Each structure stands twice: as C-alpha cells, then as structure tokens.
Structure 1
Amino acid sequence: MPVRRRRSTALAAAVATAAALGATALATVGAGTASAAEVPLKDYELTWGIKQSYRTYVTTFAKGTFTPAEGATQAAGNGAFTFVDGTGAYDSATHVTNLAFKGSLAVESKAHGFVLTLSDVRFDSADAAITADVTRDGTTEDDVPLATVTVTREMKDMATTLTARAAEVFGSAGYEGAAGDPLTLTRKTPTEPSPTPTTGAPTTQPSPTATRTQTQEPEPTATGTTSSAPDPTASTSASATATASASATAPATDAPTQAPAKGAIADGTLGWGVKESFRAYVVGPIAKGRVTVSGGAAQAAGNGAFTFKDATGTYDTDAGKLTASFRGAVNFKGHETDGTYGLDLTLSNLKATLDGGTGTLTADVNSLGEAKKGVVLADLKAKSADLTARDDVITVDDVAATLTGAGAEIFGNYPAGTALDAVDLSVALSDDAQLPGGGTGSAGGSGTAGGTGGTGTTGGTGSTTGGTGSTIGGTGTTTGGVTGGGSLASTGTDLPGPALGAAAGAAVAIGAGAVFAARKRRTQR
C-alpha cells in the first residue's frame, strides 16, 4: 500500500514564498498560539494545462483523449485543466500554503498504447511544487512531483518547470527542465469570515480594503520577501497618502497621447510562433529538421516564437481598423533523404488586419517549391475592439489566432479551427515613437531578442519531385541529422518519445500533416 509523503513546512517556506494572506491573516502573526497562526482555506481552484504542446500531441499525433472527471474540467479548444474544491491551510507563522484539490484527469491513446490518470492534485508553497497521484497499468503512485512553481504574491499565471518525473510520466525526456503551462490559484466563492485580528487593529474607520479582508477569507499570496508582517493600518495609510499626494501634484504621465486619429503606420513588429507543437515537431526526433529566419525576422532562443518587423500600412483609431504588413520570413525544413526534404515550408510577407477586434493573418507561402501569395492562415480575435494609441504606439497583445481552412491545407494535420499561438502587434504612428524593445518608428523596432537560427531561405530546396522522401511510415524515411544555427538544433523534444515506442514512431510520422499533405499536393500536380 503506497504511503503518502509528509510535506515539508520548515525554513524553505519563508525562503520560497513568504506567502501573505492579506492584512487580516498577517495580523495574526505573534498572536501567541499555534492555532491562531493557522488559517483554514477552502473553495479554491487550480488551473494548469501541463504543457500546451503535450495536449496537442495527445489529441493530434497520438489521436488520444483527455477525460476530466470528479469535478475537474478542461477549457474549450483543448485548453487547460481546472481542479476544484481545494482545501488546506495557510500558516501565518511560516507563511506556508498547502492545498489539495478534487478531480481527476485520464489521458489515453489507443493508437500509441498509453493510459494514465492524474488525481489528488496538490500545491505546496513551501516546496513550490505541484504533485499528483499517477495511476498507470493499474498501479497508483502517490505524490509524484510534476512541476516546480515560481510562486508570486498574486498566485496567478505562475511560471512552472516540469520535473524529471513529469518527463517520465508524459513520455518525453525533453520535458525535464522544460517550461510548463502557467499555474493559477483562485478562490471560487467567499467563505466564512476569518478571525478578528488580535494585533494592529485600526483605531479609525478602516479602508475598504481592510473591511473586505476582515469579512472574507483572505487569499493565499506570496511576497517572497520577509516573514515579518507590517502593520496593515500603517501600510494602508502610507499608500493612500502617497497616492493622494501624487494624484494632486504629479501629471498623468501615462495618459494616452493625442496621436492622429488615422494615417500611415511608421513602423511596427508582429510576434507570432505559428504553433509551439509544430516548431517542436520540425526540430524533433521525427522530422530531424531545422527552423531558420531571414529578411530581418528573428526567433527567440529555445526554439521560441518569431518576430517580424518594419511594418507598413494604415490605421484608424476611431473606426478600430488596422492593416499592417511585416518584413521577414521563416522556413521550416525536415525529413531529409539524400538531400531532398519532405518538409520545406516558408512563410513570408505576413499581414495582419483588425476591424472592430476581429481580422485575419495572411502570408505568402512556399511549400516544396509551390508558391501561393496572400494565404489567409488564421482568423484573429483581439480582447478588445478598441485601438488606443499611447505615446504614438498602438499595442494589441495576446490576439487569439484560429487556423482557417486554407491554413489547414498548408499544415495538413491540424484541422480548421485549431488554436494557433497568439499574436502580438505593436505599430508606431510617428517616426520618433518608441516601440517595445527600444526601437523607434524611424529606425525600426527589433522586437523580441533571441537567436536567429542562422540565415534562412526564401524558397524551398525540396522542389524536385519524386525521390525516396515520398514514402511515409517507415523508420528509414528520416536519415538527415539535425542541423541549423543557434540553439534550434538541440530543441524540439516536445513530442513524447518513450510513450510512442518503436511502432508508434511511424504513426507520429504519418501525423506530420504539413509534410505529407505537401507531398500529396506535389505528387498530384
């Protein structure tokens, strides 16, 4: 019978998180009893997607499923998972938060022959870790450490790093040390009031913040600083005084500038990663390829997203319209056999349009020597319809991108409607406007820094027809080693290898839609 580990709540707690549950909970420090230091918590939810590329692998290449149960849910579009009814405690003496959640998640692929279930998901701020019980082959292992967490005070969108055990559970050695999806902890509903503070009680009418924290259960947060608690009344008063003084004497320096309502774009950048799982596949153990950029485009280190720059186009802030074209190209190349590539795809001349918060993303496409101009790859949807200029720069981040039917023909294995990487847009409205990253409208912003991965090509070297690369499924179809510049050659292990097995490797190769759909189009010409 497995034995559950007891979690540490010692010195590491203060060092790792120094979590503060708001003024009410902090005021209990020094109350004099152990019970006064511990605040019960309940009705919390934990949202974590494990890793976006893993979810894509399961539902596409592995043709598998995620099945949440016992209250757990999954966001639409193969999104993140939420575990519910979190209960636990916060210790204001050690600043440790422990929460255990209900819900289970079954992951299954009959095609690749694996079944596993995650349950009893737990968060421990002292260890800064996520653990879960893992059931495989009828055997359950308790408290498997899946990821470490960079704990923040707000406990929202906290960065996670997958562990060696996660790499084993999810079937990819490359997951060890890799970034997982962000983690968020929230309280679903308010609960009973917390104990009345025994120290630092205000002598005057409390602020709205103080009133709220005295009548609701405090949120678990983490300061990452000191374990001593400041006087909540003094902190609130100082902040309020400073804020009021600043409001009365200082100008509103971050108010939107009076940019022209409409006109020509002076410059701009577009950040887009196409799709994380596709980048990983190209440079991974199946395609054994490389990603290169050219024409001024850049790629973030670690096989990251791309930045295209030198925008031209027009904008109209009153009408909420924006049209911007960008320089730069990215080439994906893989499945090399005797100098011929089964995958050779170039995207260039990207163009983004927004009108009332919705729009499209188009590109010129060259796949195995077959060129198409202005292919609508994705439908775009911004979080807001407004296009507000600040310091003569319009910035629209985290624009949702959804694969179109035309884009599905290019990438093959991904069906229309698949969520792609989000798009980030920044355009300068004047020559001296400062773009994010330090560039100006006249000089051109460089966008995201990172390795460029060498010099790219604008066309395709695999335009010849025939060749041994036209067959699929066999292990001998990919003989080329991983090449290319920068850090790209060593990345791309996101496709879980051990979970596939020798026979499943061929199935994953068949699932590489961008390669084989392109081959099909070439042989049909």
Structure 2
Amino acid sequence: MSATATRARRRPVMFAAAVATATALGAAALATAPGAAAASVPLTGYELSWGIKESYRNYVTGPYTKGTFTVTDGASQADGNGVFTFTGGQGTYDSTHHTLHLAFKGTLVAESPVHGFKRVLSDFQYDSATGVLTADLTADDGPTQQDVPFAKVAAPTGSDMSGLATTLTTEAGTFLGSPSYAGAAGDPLSVVKEQGTTSPSPSPSESDTTSPEPTSSTEPTSSPTSSASPSESETGNPSSPKPGDSASQSAKPTASASPSASTAPAPSKGDIADGRLTWGVKESFRGYVVGPVARGLIRASDGASQASGNGTFTFADATGTYDTEAGTLSAAFKGSVNFKGHQGEGGGYGLDLTLDNVRAALDGGSGKLTADVTSLGEKSPNVVLADLKGASTKLTAKNDVITVNDVTATLTEAGAKAFGGFYDKGAALDPVNLSVALTAGAELPSGNGTSGGGSGTGGAGTSGGTGGIGGTGSTTGGTGSTTGGIGGSMAATGSNVPVGALGAAAAATVAAGAGVFYALRRRRDTQA
C-alpha cells in the first residue's frame, strides 16, 4: 500500500496547526495562504498509538485463551499487555481543507493455539477527513483484505490529536470474533510526532498512549435472544429435570394459608419459612457459554431453574433467619447451576463450572453473596462471590414476605480468584432479586424476574447467536456456525482442538463479558 495514497472524500476539520508544525517544506506558508495553488504537502515522522480495546487484549492473553500478541515491522506494545504503537507515519496534508492522511508501519498478530485462531493487522491508515482508521486484515490462512474500515475516530480539537475517541466498526467486530464489538467504544487513539524529529511538535505524555480505565460501556454486550431461542427445557432436551427439581418452588406459592397466618402478622425476627433468589451470574457469560466460542450448555438442577431464552436462574426453598428491626437477613437456597464449554476431542470440557449452596446475607442494605464453586472437579466452599448493595437500608415485610429486588452485585477479590482472575475485583455482575416468606402460609410473589420454570439445559449456540467473547448466543442446541465476514469469527476456531485441564482458570469466564467478552484493567505478570 502506498503511504502517500489520498482519499477522494473530504470534510473540513480545523487542525491546520497540527501539521503546519510538522514539515519544513512550506506547509506553514500554504496554511496561511488558502488561495495557494498547491494544496497537498508531504508529511513524515508520525506515530499512532492505539490499544484496539482493552477487554479484547485481556481476552487474547487471558488464562482461558492463553494467546499472545506479536508486533513486528516497526510496531511495538507497551508493557503490561498495553497499547500498540505504529511508527513511520507519512502521508499528506491538505492545506485547503486542513485535513491529513497518514499511513503507518507495523504488523500486529493476535494468536491463540488453544482456540486455534490467528489474526493479522497491518498498514494502519488514518484519514482525518473521513474520520476513519483502516487496516489490512488477514484471518487465519485466508486472503488479506486491504483498507478495511476498522474504527471511526472522533475529530481532533485544534492541533491536539491525542486521546481521540474511537468506535469499532461492524467489520472490526466480525474480524475480532464478536459482533457485539460492532459499534462498541474502542480504546482512545493518539497521533503524535515521533520522538527525535526536527520539526517542533508536542510530545505525547505517558497518559496519551495508555488506555484510560474503560467504563462499563466498553465491555462487549448483546441483548439476549430470548424471543428466538428458548431454553432446551422447553424444547424437549433429553436432560429432563429430575423429580423434585422445581416442584417445591411451584407448589409453595399456592399453598393454602392457615387461619393464624391471615390474622396475625409475623414477628419482627425469626426463622425464614421459604424463599427464592433470582440471579443471572452475568448475562454476557451465559451467552458466551452457549455461543459459538465455547459451544457449551448450561444445566440448572436440584431445585434451581433457568428462565427461557437463556435467562436468569432461580434458587428455591430458602432457609435462614431475619430481623426486620435490625435490618438483617441471612438465607440459604437450594439449587445447582453447571456451565460446560470448550469440549475437547476426548469428550471432556475445558470449562466445567458449578455453583451451588447459594447464600445471601444483608445487613443495613449491604451484604454478601456466597456459593460453593466447583471447577473441573475441584471444589472451593464458601466463596464470597459478590458484594451486595440494596436500594434501602431497611427490610420491610408485606403480607409476611420480605422482597428486595435489583440488588447490585459486584465481584469480590475472592470471587475473582475463584473464577480464574478473568475479571478484576469490582466488575459488575447481574443484579439479585430476593424474596423470603416469614410464615408457612405466606405467598411469595410470582416470577421474581424470571419466566418459565423447572430445570433445563441451554444448548450449544447456533449461527443465530452473537459469537465471540462477551456475545450472547442461542440456546436452541446444535453446533455454532462460523461463517460470515472476514475469514469468519474468532469464535469459529478451535472447536476441535483439545482444550485440556485449565484448573481454576477454566472458570474465569463466569464473569466474562465476551465477551467479551466484557473491560478490564490489569497487568498480567504471566504475560511479561
């Protein structure tokens, strides 16, 4: 690709000062003379720094994918799995319209033997007139597609071209392996004069070329496909619910009230008679498990159930204690949820995670969510998975039932370790809905954020799901499709590669968000 290639489409962007200082070939004179005949001025000596998307970098190098980034031909990567820098930028400046076009040296390769993918990006070019960053893209051993729009770049302010906001394109989402990336915020992008050049230009600070802490919007997410993909418990999956899995849950709301329950209120403290807790763990993780990356299944049993459309889980038959005057509650729930994914050639799964013995404790509106976590057969009991925060500090009983909905759940340090460290402490999990009956005759509210009932199994994602890390997938069964886009999805690869035992890291994706999936900030010592 020619480094001085021009683009036909132009729109006014006022940063003449940025390039007027960048050349010694009369650019400044041309910028001050709009009527000059020669509008195109050559530019050299620029570099571009961009991290693509921090959650994508963490996915590639994380303990589950075990991938690497390789930079060559003038590209480099910052320490701690940081941003990438592409050098040797040269091109042209249009002094009439005050726009520039630059092409940069450097090749970036993202590769994972475990998932069997290889993605090559090169010849990055930035055009301020169109506000588009393009690249040449090669997926696995497929053909190279040139000048593919990879990100939309916000217009510079004056001469400052550092920290420009970016938005990933549809083509980028397909290439990276998750359609949920399409339209998602990428890392900030900076174009600066290279160090050591003779032309005066502001030098970037360290913060200019390092991605700031991403907000929750950077985490790749997708809307669940509930209307199109019912859970296999509704489609006759052979893994039918065991007797009693949800019988007690469905029977208790219809139990006849005793005369004493209807005439005398429950005491302010005592034992919990019944109850249920609804929690989805993390929506993007559920989609990842059944999507075309993991191609797995989800099973709720032993008193737990999953809502249709790969929905949230309900844990039933609560026991415990409460004290409305003190604002405290401690409840344990029956039910088990198992996530399986990444089946190897021998039939085993690289991801085999079970959550059971779920407990919730609240005190003045704050509390903990605890569970026993079993990963690849290794059990870790009493893991505090999440810090809970309710909207009110009080617990109020109505018709002998305490109901607390939309409780914020935030991943704890212990939870992050139990799930393999894929997400840092503080990552947002799905909210928790909780209701407990204080008397045997009290009727629990219906639904509690779920639909459907009984135990069931979510199947492997179909081509209708949104694959890749952090995407949501169909639960209609079958094997995920890998067609479409530039060389197919990253999620397409590695389906027949032996995954092997990954220890606790196999459970990492319980907090993924695919994606992608899902944004994190960490320095991975294992990547050094």
TM-score normalised by L of structure 1: 0.46
- Larger relative contact order (CA 8 Å, sep ≥ 6): 2
- Structure with more of its chain in helix, by fraction: 1
TM-score by length of 2: 0.46
